[in-house]
């Protein structure tokens, strides 16, 4: 299957590292013009832009905190100012802060919800407003997690946020369908990114995790990016309101669905 994003304009949030970075690079390689959102690390965002330019496509790096409406609006404005439109929005930015529920301060709950859930809601809204304004539909892809379904003790704010993203996508898929905007979630299992850097220092945790993954390995960001590319492409034109698990079988093994 030949998948091209030629003439498409995409925003990827949290694109200076991990899964977001892999998606931005894959979109660029496939011909899209890309707004590479970064939060803290400007050089990393610029490096992604350079790599996309090397692949022969255009990109810009734009700073922004996805939990702030003005910043998310700024990302969409940057796409329209520079590239004339917005076709694809990938709400990827996310954080987690694990600790026992009984010890979790309210501030941790508020921060994790603000980035993972409010940030995704804002990204969906600002992107959809632009897509409706310009007409012709669009694609919204949210990076949720197996934890949109699978409980994880010590990670209640993250699980609640990703569970929220699950119902957000389902609701918006129905509400935005008349505008030909599709909304889908990608739910990764354990992927080798900075978010999982603790596994390098704790081989016993890695072994425990591998027991829960039928395919017996951690996933790569590039594998998630291939799925995002498919969902962003014309090939996925009839798919909306779905969650795609990419987890080496983890969620089936855990028997939660």
Q: Which of 9, 14, 157, 250 binds ligand NAD (CB under 6 A)?
A: 14
Question: Does 67 help bind ligand NAD (rule: CB under 6 A)?
Answer: yes
Can you tell me which residue has the tokens 């439109």? 85
Q: Which of 156, 182, 185, 193 binds ligand NAD (CB under 6 A)?
A: 193
Query: Residue ranges of the alpha helices (H) in the chain?
Result: 18-29, 42-54, 69-83, 106-113, 119-134, 156-176, 198-201, 203-211, 221-232, 250-253
Catalytically annotated residue among 38, 158, 230, 238 = 158
Question: Does 118 help bind ligand NAD (rule: CB under 6 A)?
Answer: no
Question: Does 240 help bind ligand NAD (rule: CB under 6 A)?
Answer: no
Site residue total, ligand NAD (CB under 6 A) = 26
Q: Which of 10, 17, 24, 231 binds ligand NAD (CB under 6 A)?
A: 17
Question: Does 243 help bind ligand NAD (rule: CB under 6 A)?
Answer: no
Q: Which of 124, 188, 236, 240 binds ligand NAD (CB under 6 A)?
A: 188
Question: Does 164 help bind ligand NAD (rule: CB under 6 A)?
Answer: no
Smaller CB separation from ligand NAD, 93 or 140: 93
Question: Does 199 help bind ligand NAD (rule: CB under 6 A)?
Answer: no
Kindly calculate the radius of gyration of the chain based on its CA atoms and give it in whole angstroms: 17
Question: Does 145 help bind ligand NAD (rule: CB under 6 A)?
Answer: yes
Residue 158 annotated in active site: yes
Supply the DSSP symbol for 180.
Answer: T
Length of the chain counted residue by residue = 257
Specify the DSSP element, H or E, that contains 35: strand 33-38
Q: Which of 93, 141, 172, 229 binds ligand NAD (CB under 6 A)?
A: 93
CA nearest to 90, candidates 41, 35, 49, 18: 35
Specify the DSSP element, H or E, that contains 61: strand 59-63
Q: Strand order of the sheet with strand 243-246?
A: 59-63, 33-38, 9-12, 88-91, 138-143, 181-188, 243-246
Question: Does 90 help bind ligand NAD (rule: CB under 6 A)?
Answer: no
Give phi and psi for 62, each to the nearest 5. Answer: -130, 125
Q: Which of 16, 118, 130, 156 binds ligand NAD (CB under 6 A)?
A: 16
State the minimum distance, in angstroms, from the CB of residue 50 to ligand NAD.
17
Neighbour-count burial for 182-210, b at 16+ CB within 10 Å, e otherwise: bbbbbbbbbbbbebeeebeeeeeebeebe
Catalytic residues: 158
Q: Which residues bind ligand NAD (CB under 6 A)?
A: 13-14, 16-20, 39-40, 65-67, 92-95, 115, 143, 145, 188, 190-191, 193-196
């Amino acid at each position: 299957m030949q998948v091209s994003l030629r003439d498409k304009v995409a925003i990827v949030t949290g694109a200076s590292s991990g899964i977001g970075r892999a998606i931005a690079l894959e979109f660029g390689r496939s011909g899209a013009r890309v707004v590479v959102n970064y939060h803290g690390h400007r050089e990393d965002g610029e490096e992604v832009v350079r790599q996309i330019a090397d692949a022969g496509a255009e990109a810009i790096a734009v700073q922004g905190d996805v939990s702030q409406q003005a910043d998310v609006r700024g990302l969409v404005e940057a796409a329209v100012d520079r590239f004339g439109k917005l076709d694809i929005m990938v709400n990827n930015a996310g954080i987690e802060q694990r600790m026992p529920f009984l010890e979790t301060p309210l501030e941790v709950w508020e921060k994790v919800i603000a980035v993972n859930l409010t940030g995704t809601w804002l990204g969906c809204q600002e992107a959809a407003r632009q897509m409706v304004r310009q007409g012709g539909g669009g694609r919204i892809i949210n990076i949720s997690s197996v934890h949109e379904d699978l409980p994880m003790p010590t990670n209640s704010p993250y699980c609640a946020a990703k569970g929220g993203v699950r119902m957000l996508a389902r609701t918006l898929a129905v509400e935005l369908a008349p505008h030909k905007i599709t909304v889908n979630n990608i739910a990764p299992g354990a992927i080798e990114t900075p978010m999982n850097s603790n596994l390098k220092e704790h081989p016993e945790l890695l072994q425990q995790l591998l027991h829960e993954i039928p395919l017996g390995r951690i996933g790569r960001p590039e594998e998630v990016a291939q799925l995002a590319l498919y969902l962003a492409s014309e090939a996925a034109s009839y798919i909306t309101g779905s969650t795609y698990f990419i987890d080496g079988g983890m969620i089936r093994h855990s028997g939660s669905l």
